[in-house]
Amino acid sequence: MTAKIAVLTISDRAARGEYADKSGPAMEEWLRWAITSPIEILRQITPDGRAEVAQALRDLADVQGCDLILASGGTGPAPRDQTPEAMADVVERDFPGFGELMRAVSLREVPTAILSRQGAGTRGKCLIITLPGKPSAIATCLNAVFPAVPYCLDLMGAGRIDTDPARCKAFRPG
């Protein structure tokens, strides 16, 4: 079965075309590099804002039926950074371990990693992971948390994902 994965860029400036979106391509590239099983990737860009982001996430989870959503941007302290508030409106269960680990590995690169309110949660059979907007943060964060993602999707009853163990060693206990 083909797993459906959404790559959502959350950025006012990328949505307005003021700069080229680099985070969306970085997320897609990482997924295609690490995953060996069949996947369908949907790419989308939305402006920042609680309502806009929540609407985009609901559409991708409920209407498009995504198994996994990777979203980047809007996790910081600027007034328009409202991704965590949108997540609070949308997710049914919060998984704080994702944010804890991503901040820990990012802190080795930049002290401002503590400013990111990145995290993860589930809505129905969809896992949503939020990442910082900085394109260079994408691989750092995905390398750290993705080993737990395939088993998480198994437990949720979502689509199956297999990874290349040389690139991402997915852990499935027992």
Ligand X SMILES: Nc1nc2c(c(=O)[nH]1)N[C@H]1C(S)=C(S)[C@@H](COP(=O)(O)O)O[C@H]1N2
- Residues 6, 7, 8, 14: which binds ligand ATP (CB under 6 A)? 14
DSSP 111-168: GGGGG---EEEEETTEEEEEE-S-TTHHHHHHHHHGGGHHHHHHHHT-----B-TTT-
Residues 27-86 binding ligand ATP (CB under 6 A) are 48, 73-74, 76, 78, 80-81
DSSP 25-50: HHHHHHHHHHB-S-EEEEEEEE-SSH
Contacts for 169 with CB less than 8 Å, ≥ 6 apart: 147, 163
Site pattern 55..74 for ligand X (x: CB under 6 A): ------------------xx
**Phi–psi pair at 114, nearest 5 degrees:** -70, -15
- Residues 15, 110, 144, 148: which binds ligand X (CB under 6 A)? 110
- Residues 21, 61, 69, 102: which binds ligand ATP (CB under 6 A)? 21
Residue in 129, 126, 130 with CA at minimum distance from that of residue 159: 126
Site pattern 126..145 for ligand ATP (x: CB under 6 A): -------xxx----------
The site for ligand ATP (CB under 6 A) is made up of 9, 11-14, 19, 21-23, 48, 73-74, 76, 78, 80-81, 133-135
The site for ligand X (CB under 6 A) is made up of 73-76, 81, 106, 109-110, 112-113, 115-116, 132-134, 136-137, 140
